[in-house]
Structure 1
Amino acid sequence: MPTDDASPPSPAAESTLWSGHTSQWVHFWYYFFCILLAAGISVAATVFGLATAGVGMLGYLALIIPLLMWLTRWWVTKCTTYELTTQRLRIRAGILNKKVDELELFRVRDYTMEQPFLLRLVGLGNLTMITTDATTPTVAMRAIPNVEAVREKLRNAVQNERDRKRVRQMDVDSVDDGSSGPLH
């Protein structure tokens, strides 16, 4: 009875390389607007309250609006988490309805790290990936801490996963050899 000596490689154990979430700093201007709105409501309620002999103090109830705006944005950001493993990037999002999006690392074609000035001041950066995945051709992780180390972990994990799966990316350049003219 013949035996097959070339058995398929056993799947490698998947381990977590990094996990984190978007920093709240990415919403600085939104939170700043909420503070200005709350200040405006407070001033208007105070002025209106003084003019109406205390009846306008109910205007302070409107402070619930910027508070709810702030809390909703904070909670949505806090509930979005990233997990980089040796085989995939898992993105979990949602408060009441949860969504899990997984990107196989061998599908990552290119990645870009950006550190805008304000994010760099607080040690954060953005990492954007261009992929061959049909549902998510671009994946962005915004305002993540220690972005350079995460990018390096991603780079190594992508290369290791491509080697493990024996996948190679083909770059095709368009070459103009001058023969594209009309035929005679």
Structure 2
Amino acid sequence: MPAEDSPIAANVAETTLWSGHTSQWVHFWYYFFCILLAAGIGVAATVFGLATAGIGALGYLALIIPLLMWMIRWWVTKSTKYELTTQRLRITAGILDRKVDELELFRVRDYSMEQPLLLRMVGLGNLTLITSDATTPTVAMKAIHGVEGVREKLRTAVQNERDRKRVRQMDVDNVVDGGADLK
């Protein structure tokens, strides 16, 4: 009796391969600016306070501005979470309004890893995905820990998911001369 093609397993268990979030190192220069701003406010409040016999001490209240700037940026970055499973990449973002974006792994066409000097010094990197998804054609995961390991897990999961779904990507080059070189 001939063997038939096995049907696609619809209820394959989905497991988490990696989860993480963007590191705060990606905002190094922003945080550095906040520190400089706080130092400037502190110096100005001190000088103005000495010149006005203590009335300028209210200027220290302006230190709330760089503190709030720092806290909001930290919170926004911390609230963005990436979760790589065996079937999809789930991106959850937002502080008050939550947005969940899911990318099926068989739609990933290409990926690239980048490690700028500052990020490489602290063991981080950027991973960019080019996809065939209509809503998210490009996904950029900035300053993630262990980017090389994540890239390898992603590569393996994409190939496994394509095999499971029996999906193949066809690359077609632009032929300018109408194929005249083919003989």
Q: TM-score range by the shorter chain?
A: over 0.9
- Structure 2 CA distance for aligned equivalents of residues 99 and 170 of structure 1: 32
Name the structure 2 match of 1:117: 117
Name the structure 1 match of 2:140: 140
- Structure 1 CA distance for aligned equivalents of residues 5 and 26 of structure 2: 54
Deviates more, 1:7-16 or 1:136-145: 7-16
From the superposition, tell whether residues 103 and 56 of structure 1 become closer, same or farther in structure 2 (CA, over 3 Å): same
From the superposition, tell whether residues 7 and 167 of structure 1 become closer, same or farther in structure 2 (CA, over 3 Å): closer
User: Secondary structure of 1:120's match?
Assistant: helix
1:5 Cα shift? 9.0
- Structure 1 CA distance for aligned equivalents of residues 153 and 178 of structure 2: 43
User: Secondary structure of 1:125's match?
Assistant: strand
In the TM superposition, structure 1's runs of 4+ consecutive aligned residues that sit over 4 Å from their partners are 4-8
CA offsets, 1:125-172, max 9 Å, x none?
000000000010000100000000000000000000000000000100
1:59 aligns with 2:59: yes
1:39-118 equivalences in 2 (<5 Å):
39-118=39-118
What amino acid is aligned across from residue 25 of structure 1 in structure 2? Answer: W
**Where does the alignment leave 5 or more consecutive residues of structure 1 unmatched?**
none
CA offsets, 1:29-58, max 9 Å, x none?
000000000000000000000000000000
From the superposition, tell whether residues 163 and 48 of structure 1 become closer, same or farther in structure 2 (CA, over 3 Å): same
1:7 Cα shift? 4.9
1:11 Cα shift? 2.5
From the superposition, tell whether residues 166 and 5 of structure 1 become closer, same or farther in structure 2 (CA, over 3 Å): closer
User: Secondary structure of 1:154's match?
Assistant: helix
1:175 Cα shift? 1.9
What amino acid is aligned across from residue 152 of structure 1 in structure 2? Answer: E
**Where does the alignment leave 5 or more consecutive residues of structure 2 unmatched?**
none
Name the structure 2 match of 1:35: 35
1:10 Cα shift? 3.5
- Structure 1 CA distance for aligned equivalents of residues 10 and 97 of structure 2: 35
Name the structure 2 match of 1:153: 153
- Structure 2 CA distance for aligned equivalents of residues 16 and 38 of structure 1: 42
Query: What is the aligned length?
Result: 177
- Structure 2 CA distance for aligned equivalents of residues 172 and 179 of structure 1: 13
Identity %: 81
On the 8 A contact 2:114/2:125 being kept in 1, the answer is: yes
- Structure 2 CA distance for aligned equivalents of residues 141 and 6 of structure 1: 36
- Structure 2 CA distance for aligned equivalents of residues 98 and 137 of structure 1: 21
Name the structure 1 match of 2:128: 128
Deviates more, 1:166-175 or 1:6-15: 6-15
What TM-score, normalized to structure 2?
0.93
RMSD: 1.7
